[in-house]
């Protein structure tokens, strides 16, 4: 019986990769542990080892092929005595399904779309990007790297420090190439001591340098939170305005995929609680680039909350010399008239898909991408609420004392008379993140929940 060799997943979030190189040819004998191929993900190049013994019967994916999906059949391994015809037969069979069972999540999005007249819900122009600006594709990862590199070229006081940022090129490859360009003085690998290097960074900032402190994830920044809050955020006030800390704390935040409770938490509301901090949570590559450059230039401590799932996603960004976005300004991503969807960070992924499906159902959703959590651009939200009368917020964080809670409070306070329905929020569930695939899916929000919430506030069945 020929054995299928499948495209392996090499990280928790990998969905596809490039088959860079075959190290064995058809007809070669393979023993378990032999390196048979090299695979490139957006983060690293990895070797693929054979698990079984046999003869490489047929290569199904040529080297150099990009975008090979995880679990796609890439070769056939023949057992002793089997011939090439068996390989051909195996190649035409479908790959074994190894997917998790579908969760019993509310699946409103799967409901038959109501035949509806087209509605006005369209991608909106970004007022920060003049019409006619040339655009290019960029992943969020590249945008973050480019933002740091540009600011480091511009200002010798800017440096980046953190675990694996230099020689390893970043645990998530965000700092790729920075060591080569800027050297070990400005791209600094730290020991695994979050509390210590966060404090060191704040001290350097008090002395006037402009550190970018990378946390491998914000989950680890809980070890450093005293320095972020007590040392960085409060010193300007406690010194009567004499001494602040121009520092950026950045790194992936929130859930990745299948990494369990201790590595899957969104800290936006924690930091947004603190006067003296700015909190930025970008979604697109343009958000990432424009806002990180602004954060590095900002004289205040800025918490910059990225998301691992978004790192590899590609967006159009302005192809201009110095693209900087203002901190504290939300962006209307889609205009609409029936309901206001407010989201930020990875919550935007569900929100934008929901807006598309809602449009097909005849519901016109206006989508606001907050971009910054603190200071909160409530005015943009209120202007939209006055138009639509309905609000749904979408985020992955826990519901209790969430950013959504704050938005709901401010909207009822400042636009109570404009509301035609209670404000609803779609959030992560109030549980530590489970590991099991089906439970994890249930713990996170989904497009169906967003659509259900919109139906509820628009009183449509």
Partner 1 sequence: MGKRQLEMREMAATKRTSSGAGAKADSRSRGAGDNSAPAIADFSKEQELHAYREMLLIRRFEEKAGQLYGMGLIGGFCHLYIGQEAVVVGMQMAKKDGDQMITGYRDHGHMLAMDLDPKGVMAELTGRRGGLSKGKGGSMHMFSKEKHFYGGHGIVGAQVALGTGLGFSNKYRENGNVAMAFFGDGASNQGQVYESFNMAQLWKLPVVYVIENNKYGMGTSVERSSATTDLSQRGASFGIPGEQVDGMDVRAVLAASDRALEHCRSGKGPYILEMVTYRYRGHSMSDPAKYRSKDEVQKMRTEHDPIEQVRKRVLDANWATEEDLKAIDKDVRALVAESAEFAQNDPEPDVSELYTDILL
Binding site for partner 1 (CB under 8 A): 159, 185, 190-191, 193, 195-209, 226-227, 230-231, 235-244, 275-276, 278, 299-300
User: Which residue among the candidates 82, 194, 406, 440 is catalytic per the annotation?
Assistant: 194
Q: Which is nearer to partner 1, 168 or 418 (CB)?
A: 168
Q: Which is nearer to partner 1, 234 or 441 (CB)?
A: 234
- For residue 203, the tally of other CB atoms under 10 A from its CB is 15
Residues 6 or more apart whose Cβ sits within 8 Å of residue 31: 50, 53
CB of 192 to partner 1, least distance (A): 9
Q: Cα 95 to chain center, whole Å?
A: 30
Q: Which is nearer to partner 1, 53 or 189 (CB)?
A: 189
DSSP annotation of 224 reads G
Q: Has 194 been annotated as catalytic? A: yes
User: Which residue among the candidates 150, 263, 357, 406 is catalytic per the annotation?
Assistant: 263
Distance from C-alpha of 162 to C-alpha of 31, rounded to nearest angstrom:
40
Exposed, middle or buried, 33 (CB in 10 Å: 0-12/13-18/19+)?
Answer: exposed
Please list, residue by residue across 358-395, b when 16 or more beta carbons sit within 10 angstroms of its beta carbon and e when fewer do.
Answer: bbebebbbbbbbbbbbbebbbebbbebbeebbbbbbbb
CB of 259 to partner 1, least distance (A): 25
- For residue 312, which of 180, 142, 168, 83 has the smallest C-alpha distance? 142
Q: Phi/psi of residue 391, each to 5°? A: -135, 135
In 255-338, DSSP assigns E strands to 278-280, 302-306, 314-318, 331-335
CB of 375 to partner 1, least distance (A): 8
Distance from C-alpha of 243 to C-alpha of 236, rounded to nearest angstrom:
5
Q: Which is nearer to partner 1, 120 or 243 (CB)?
A: 243
Q: Which is nearer to partner 1, 130 or 208 (CB)?
A: 208
For residue 155, the number of C-alpha atoms closer than 13 Å in the C-beta half-sphere is: 17
CB of 49 to partner 1, least distance (A): 35
Exposed, middle or buried, 342 (CB in 10 Å: 0-12/13-18/19+)?
Answer: buried
The helix (H) or strand (E) run that includes residue 136 is: strand 135-139
CB of 143 to partner 1, least distance (A): 25
Q: Which is nearer to partner 1, 232 or 426 (CB)?
A: 232
CB of 175 to partner 1, least distance (A): 18
CB of 261 to partner 1, least distance (A): 24
Q: Which is nearer to partner 1, 231 or 427 (CB)?
A: 231
Query: Crossing angle of helices 347-360/447-458, nearest 10°?
Result: 60
The three-class DSSP label of residue 138 is strand
Residues marked active site are found at 194, 263
């Amino acid at each position: 019986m020929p054995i299928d060799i499948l495209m392996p997943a090499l990280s928790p979030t990998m969905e596809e990769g490039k088959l860079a190189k075959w190290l064995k040819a058809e007809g070669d004998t393979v023993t378990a542990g032999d390196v048979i191929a090299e695979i490139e993900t957006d983060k690293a190049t990895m070797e693929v080892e054979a698990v079984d013994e046999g003869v490489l019967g047929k290569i199904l994916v040529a080297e150099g092929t990009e975008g090979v999906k995880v679990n796609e059949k890439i070769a056939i391994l023949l057992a002793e005595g089997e011939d090439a015809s068996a390989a051909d037969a195996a190649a035409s069979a479908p790959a074994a399904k190894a997917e998790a069972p579908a969760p019993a999540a509310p699946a409103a999005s799967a409901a038959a779309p109501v035949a509806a007249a087209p509605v006005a819900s369209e991608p909106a122009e970004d007022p920060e990007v003049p019409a006619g600006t040339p655009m290019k594709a960029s992943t969020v990862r590249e945008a973050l790297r480019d933002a740091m590199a540009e600011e480091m070229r511009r200002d010798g006081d800017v440096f980046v420090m953190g675990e694996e940022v230099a020689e390893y090129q970043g645990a998530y490859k965000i700092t790729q190439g920075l060591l080569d360009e800027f050297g070990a003085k400005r791209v600094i690998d730290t020991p695994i001591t979050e509390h210590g290097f966060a404090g060191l960074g704040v001290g350097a900032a008090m002395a006037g340098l402009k550190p970018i402190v990378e946390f491998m994830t914000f989950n680890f920044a809980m070890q450093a939170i005293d320095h972020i809050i007590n040392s960085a955020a409060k010193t300007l006030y406690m010194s009567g305005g004499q001494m602040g800390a121009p520092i950026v704390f950045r790194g992936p935040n929130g859930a990745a995929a299948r990494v369990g409770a201790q590595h899957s938490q969104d800290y936006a509301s924690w930091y947004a609680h603190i006067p003296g901090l700015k909190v930025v949570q970008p979604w697109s590559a343009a958000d990432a680039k424009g806002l990180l450059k602004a954060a590095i230039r900002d004289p205040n401590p800025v918490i910059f909350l990225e998301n691992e799932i978004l790192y590899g996603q590609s967006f159009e960004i302005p192809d201009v010399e110095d693209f900087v976005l203002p901190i504290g300004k939300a962006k209307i991503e889609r205009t609409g008239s029936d309901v206001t969807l407010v989201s930020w960070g990875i919550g935007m992924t569900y929100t934008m898909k929901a807006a598309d499906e809602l449009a097909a159902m005849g519901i016109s959703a206006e989508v606001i991408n907050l971009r910054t959590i603190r200071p909160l651009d409530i005015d943009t939200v209120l202007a939209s609420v006055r138009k639509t009368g309905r609000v749904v917020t979408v985020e992955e964080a826990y519901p209790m004392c969430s950013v959504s809670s704050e938005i709901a409070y401010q909207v009822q306070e400042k636009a109570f008379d404009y509301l035609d329905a209670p404000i609803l929020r779609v959030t992560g569930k109030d549980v530590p993140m489970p590991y099991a695939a089906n439970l994890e899916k249930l713990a996170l929000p989904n497009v169906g929940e967003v659509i259900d919430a919109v139906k509820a506030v628009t009183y449509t069945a």
